[in-house]
């Protein structure tokens, strides 16, 4: 009978007669990564060894993923992509051996411990890291591979704090950009929900999906926060439909030029074709934006890694922070919809399709989706040919990720002559 995983004490064991395991570096869904030494060399060489859980040894899909990762890494000879040294898959064990990254991952820089809040990185360090990640990602794309899981945990740091792009277990060929994603991941997609581009939720992927994920990572490095947060279902709605947040919404303490928001508007666009054509182009756009409006605000040539939790980049930019104005506008908008809602209940005509539609729209703007749905349903119950209610309910379905129901309602509104619904339907049918 196969023994349980993991064993009580796996450290101290020898794998394949040469790799001595010292301690765990971290555990994932399918295996565990160990700090090990290759005893074939003298002195023994430090390595990282990813060991597959024994319960997956006879799972062909998981084993294929491990083989794909080793094969993908073997393609590269690049200073910023992790080097594979050895791998083996048989009935007894399966593992990949790579070079060891002694300074951990970008995830540990952004969140030094599990209880801490997100940490923003200083501007010069962001530029330093972004340029190296960009060259690695463009190299992968140039070799015909989509990474599909760009996130802090997969950005490793060597002994000189240089980037090593890792974990190509989900990589797939660029020549099949419409490949359906059959896998189990955060929110039902391959990869990680917080970094998943809108098209991934619609089961499509391309190199622009990687560039989108890098944009999310860049936003996180700059503000210490993710642009979109919440449950997997909420993340799906936000990635697909929510406006790109302003940098100031996640980092109220940060003074920055408007050009920086333009970077994120582009790289986090819902339409892949609107994003940067390469990771290098994103890196250059970011560098140019943080130097606006005057060329005198140049980046220092030397990078420091001992930095405060809340870096001040006002020495690089010279524009007024508009956060107070933005917060006031948000409060004014919220007040407007609450007032509109109250007025519909006080109206003499509060039981008409028009009033129920207005009430549903107010609830939808306040993100009270269940109440919004009930009011749109009531409007259509009173008048089955009331096009605005079909259109607004279609938009509500879209926000909730119910694409088929959204298409049905928007098509009905179009048949009833609603021109606004025609535009919504066109956007839904042609997301790319």
Work out the average pLDDT over 306-327: 40
Which of 297, 321, 345 is a domain's end point?
A: 321
Residue 4 lies in a domain: no
**Model confidence at 335: pLDDT above 70:** no
Work out the average pLDDT over 23-29: 82
Residue 383 lies in a domain: yes
Residue 142: how many other CB atoms lie within 10 Å: 12
Q: What is the pLDDT of residues 193-215, one digit of tens each?
A: 999 999 998 888 899 999 999 99
pLDDT for the residue 345: 53
pLDDT classification of 190: cutoffs 50, 70, 90: low
Claim to verify: residue 233 and residue 296 sit in the same structural domain = yes
Claim to verify: residue 278 and residue 131 sit in the same structural domain = yes
Q: What is the layout of strands, in order, in the sheet containing 94-99?
A: 14-15, 19-27, 31-38, 45-52, 94-99, 84-89
Which of 70, 99, 128 is a domain's end point?
A: 99
pLDDT over 70 for what percent of the chain? Answer: 78
37 marked ligand binding residue: no
- What are the respective helix, strand and coil percentages of the chain, to the nearest 5? 45, 10, 40
pLDDT for the residue 71: 86
pLDDT over 90 for what percent of the chain? Answer: 46
Residue 5 lies in a domain: no
Work out the average pLDDT over 367-380: 88
Claim to verify: residue 316 and residue 342 sit in the same structural domain = no
Claim to verify: residue 114 and residue 95 sit in the same structural domain = no
Claim to verify: residue 86 and residue 117 sit in the same structural domain = no
Claim to verify: residue 381 and residue 308 sit in the same structural domain = no
Q: Which of 59, 113, 138, 149 is catalytic?
A: 149
Claim to verify: residue 255 and residue 179 sit in the same structural domain = yes
**Model confidence at 302: pLDDT above 60:** no
Claim to verify: residue 396 and residue 253 sit in the same structural domain = no
Task: Please spell the DSSP secondary structure of 129-190, one letter per residue.
Answer: HHHHHHHHHHHHHHTTEE----SGGGEEE-TTS-EEE---TT-EETT-TT----S--GGGSS
pLDDT classification of 178: cutoffs 50, 70, 90: very low
Q: What is the CATH number of the domain that holds 370?
A: 1.25.40.10
pLDDT for the residue 347: 55
Residue 295 lies in a domain: yes
Residue 116 lies in a domain: yes
> Residue 85: enclosing H or E segment and its boundaries?
strand 84-89
Work out the average pLDDT over 279-300: 72
Work out the average pLDDT over 310-331: 42
pLDDT for the residue 78: 93
Per the model's pLDDT, the better-predicted residue between 2 and 113 turns out to be 113
Strand partners, 21: 36
Q: What is the CATH number of the domain that holds 63?
A: 3.30.200.20
**Least confident piece of the model among 51-55, 82-86, 122-126:** 51-55
Which of 46, 78, 99 is a domain's end point?
A: 99
Work out the average pLDDT over 173-197: 58
pLDDT for the residue 5: 43
**Model confidence at 143: pLDDT above 50:** yes
**Model confidence at 61: pLDDT above 60:** yes
Claim to verify: residue 225 and residue 312 sit in the same structural domain = yes
Residue 1 lies in a domain: no
What CA–CA distance (Å, rounded) separates 420 from 425? 9
**Model confidence at 329: pLDDT above 60:** no
pLDDT classification of 166: cutoffs 50, 70, 90: very high
Claim to verify: residue 156 and residue 288 sit in the same structural domain = yes
pLDDT classification of 342: cutoffs 50, 70, 90: low
Q: What is the CATH number of the domain that holds 310?
A: 1.10.510.10
Residue 212 lies in a domain: yes
Claim to verify: residue 88 and residue 203 sit in the same structural domain = no
Are 132 and 157 within 8 A, CB to CB? no
Tell me how many domains the chain contains: 3
Check if 149 is active-site: yes
Q: Categorise residue 148: left if φ over 0, alpha if ψ from -120 to 50, beta otherwise.
A: left
Per the model's pLDDT, the better-predicted residue between 304 and 17 turns out to be 17
**Model confidence at 179: pLDDT above 50:** no
Residue 79 lies in a domain: yes
Per the model's pLDDT, the better-predicted residue between 113 and 221 turns out to be 221
**Model confidence at 377: pLDDT above 50:** yes
Structural domain harbouring 56: 14-99
**Predicted TM-score of the model (pTM):** 0.65
pLDDT for the residue 417: 86
Claim to verify: residue 314 and residue 345 sit in the same structural domain = no
């Amino acid at each position: 009978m196969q023994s349980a995983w993991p064993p009580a004490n796996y450290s101290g064991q020898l794998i394949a007669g040469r790799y001595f395991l010292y301690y765990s570096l971290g555990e994932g869904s399918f295996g565990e990564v160990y700090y090990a030494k290759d005893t074939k060399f003298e002195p023994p060489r430090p390595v990282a060894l990813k060991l597959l859980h024994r319960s997956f040894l006879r799972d062909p899909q998981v084993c294929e993923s491990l083989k794909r990762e080793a094969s993908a890494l073997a393609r590269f000879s690049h200073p910023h992509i992790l080097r594979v040294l050895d791998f083996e898959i048989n009935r007894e064990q399966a593992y990949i051996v790579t070079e060891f990254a002694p300074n951990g991952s970008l995830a540990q820089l952004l969140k030094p411990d599990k209880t801490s809040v997100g940490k923003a990185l200083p501007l010069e360090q962001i530029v330093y890291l972004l340029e190296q990640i960009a060259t690695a990602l463009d190299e992968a794309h140039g070799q015909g591979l989509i990474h599909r899981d760009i996130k802090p945990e997969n950005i490793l740091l060597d002994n000189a704090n240089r980037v090593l792009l890792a974990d190509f277990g989900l990589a797939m060929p660029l020549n099949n950009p419409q490949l359906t994603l059959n896998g189990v991941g955060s929110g039902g997609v391959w990869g990680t929900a917080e970094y998943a581009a809108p098209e991934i939720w619609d089961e499509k992927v391309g190199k622009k999906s990687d560039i989108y994920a890098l944009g999310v990572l860049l936003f996180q490095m700059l503000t210490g926060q993710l642009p979109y947060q919440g449950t997997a279902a909420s993340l799906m709605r936000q990635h697909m439909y929510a406006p790109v947040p302003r940098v100031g919404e996640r980092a109220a303490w940060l003074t920055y030029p408007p050009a920086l928001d333009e970077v994120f508007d582009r790289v986090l666009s819902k339409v892949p074709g609107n994003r940067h054509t390469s990771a290098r182009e994103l890196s250059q756009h970011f560098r140019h934006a943080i130097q606006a409006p005057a060329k005198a605000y140049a980046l220092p040539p030397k990078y420091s890694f001992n930095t405060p939790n809340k870096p001040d980049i006002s020495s690089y930019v010279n524009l007024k922070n508009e956060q107070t104005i933005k917060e006031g506008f948000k409060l004014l908008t919220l007040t407007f919809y609450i007032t509109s809602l109250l007025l519909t209940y006080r109206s003499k005509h509060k039981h008409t399709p028009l009033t129920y539609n207005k009430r549903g729209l107010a609830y939808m703007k306040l993100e009270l989706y269940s109440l919004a749905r009930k009011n749109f349903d009531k409007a259509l119950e009173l008048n089955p040919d009331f096009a605005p209610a079909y259109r607004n309910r279609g938009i509500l379905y879209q926000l909730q990720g119910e694409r088929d129901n959204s298409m049905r309602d928007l098509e009905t509104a179009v048949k009833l002559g609603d021109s606004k619904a025609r535009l919504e339907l066109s956007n839904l049918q042609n997301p790319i």
